[in-house]
Structure 1
Amino acid sequence: MQIGALARRAGVSPRALRYYEEKGLLTPGRTSGGYRDYTDEHVETVRRIRILLAAGLNTDMVSEMLPCMVNDGEFLAPGCEDLIAEFERERRRIDTQIAELHDVRSALTGIISAGRAFADR
């Protein structure tokens, strides 16, 4: 199938597919005329890429983890045991970012409150 058909089936833009290809996440075949040629397997690959990106992973991490991911019927799961530790590390990193954002939000709330109090004088 051509890139437009894959984009429709996978629910992404052709631009996203070209980006995934550029990052080495997706490797289409080529027709004799040089056009990209995707298979049904690419639809599943794009679905997996989207899940991993939605989980907060960057494309370098997705590239590294994608070959070891399996579908357990309900979720995408790491098929290689060492990936569990990688996902746990990533979750801790996100938890740290959430805590930092909470602190930033609290500081901003204080500034807003002080500004309102100053304006009310």
Structure 2
Amino acid sequence: MARPSETEVAENAADDAAVAEETLTGFRKFLKKLSACFWELEEHLADLFGLNDSKYQTYVDEYFDEIKRKEDREAFERWEEAERQKELDAKLAEEQAKLEGGEGEDVGLTSAAAKAAEL
């Protein structure tokens, strides 16, 4: 008699497992479902009591929060500097406009060369 190949053995084993699954008695099916329910309940209880959480998660969260605060602080400082620069640019532009438009104060010439130039 010839030996069956490995693929035939695997196919037969899968068929046997399917037949065995179908022929389970009612009590065995109940136990299988109860066991699956128990493991799911255990998973939910572990989540509820924090057993699945990292032991050092609070430290990791604090570290990332500190990094975020530092980045926010630096971004705010850059924004403040940009606002100060805008205000300075606006003041300089206003002064330049006054000087060019003649709206500014009259500046008297005091040097001897300037007085000579007026004559």
TM-score (norm 1): 0.33
Structure 1 or 2, whichever has the larger Rg, is 2
Higher relative contact order (CA 8 A, sep 6+): 1
In proportion to residue count, which structure has more strand? 1
In proportion to residue count, which structure has more helix? 2
TM-score (norm 2): 0.34
